[in-house]
Every structure is written in structure tokens, then in C-alpha cells.
């Protein structure tokens, strides 16, 4: 059993920045990936960025690379998403996900079995 808790969401003006955090607790895997997904109203949940804890592989959605940066804290089981140049289209609930994988960072929702509750990000124009 793995528990994931997101934090750091809020309301920002267009052009602003936010840093999201995801903290993991409970039983861990030897090899696993953690990833961020987001879901806006009326849209499907989509992959944002992710990393593999032991292989150091990272992945980004093509439309977001350059504005969003994923990182981790090795002293904790935690990952972060630094978001800059935020736009109204970035408004969504952002979710943290995790699961066991050998090397890669899957980008499809169906590959992940552990999810957090989400944190709301709202960007005003």
C-alpha cells in the first residue's frame, strides 16, 4: 500500500509560477516511477511529466517541456513540479501517480495503480 499526497496548488495570475509537491509513504518498490497528470474540466486526464527513481529517466509532455521541470529529493520520497509562465489553459487538478516499473516512465493513465487526491491549480487571465 502506497499513499501519495499532493500540495502546492493555488491561484496565480498568468505568467506566474508554482511548485507542486508529491510526498509518498507506506510500502515502497525497488524500482518505480512517479509522474504528474492533470485534468481540466471537460477534458481527459493527461500526462504532464514523470521520473524513474532509480534509472533517472524523465519524460515530459511535448507541449509543456521548457515551462515545467520535474525534480526529486533523495532525502525524502518526494518529487516536485516547478511550473513557470503559467497560462489559463494550465488550469486543472494536478494528480501524482506512482507504480513499479523497471526502467521507463509510462505516460498512460492505465499503467499507474497508485494515485493522490489531486491539488487544484487555477491561473487567472
Q: Output 15 or 26, whichever has higher pLDDT.
A: 15
* One-letter-per-residue 3-state SS of the chain: CEEEEEECCEEEECCCCEEEEEEEEECCCCCEEEEEEEECCCCCCEEEEEEECCCCCEEECCCCECCEEEEEECCCCEEEEEECCCCHHHCEEEEEEEEECCCCCCCCHHHCCEECCCEEEEEEC
pLDDT tens track for 16-62: 999 999 999 987 777 899 999 999 999 999 999 999 988 889 999 99
Looking at residue 43, its pLDDT comes to 97
Amino acid at each position: 500500500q502506497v499513499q501519495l499526497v499532493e500540495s502546492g496548488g493555488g491561484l496565480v495570475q498568468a505568467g506566474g509560477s508554482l511548485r507542486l509537491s508529491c510526498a509518498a509513504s507506506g510500502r515502497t518498490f525497488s524500482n518505480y516511477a512517479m509522474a504528474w497528470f492533470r485534468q481540466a474540466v471537460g477534458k481527459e486526464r493527461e500526462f504532464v511529466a514523470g521520473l524513474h527513481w532509480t534509472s533517472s529517466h524523465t519524460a515530459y509532455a511535448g507541449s509543456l517541456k521548457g515551462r515545467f521541470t520535474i525534480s526529486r529529493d533523495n532525502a525524502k520520497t518526494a518529487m516536485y513540479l516547478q511550473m513557470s509562465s503559467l497560462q489559463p489553459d494550465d488550469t486543472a487538478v494536478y494528480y501524482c501517480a506512482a507504480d513499479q516499473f523497471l526502467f521507463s516512465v509510462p505516460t498512460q493513465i492505465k499503467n499507474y495503480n497508485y494515485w493522490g487526491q489531486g491539488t487544484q491549480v487555477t491561473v487567472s487571465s
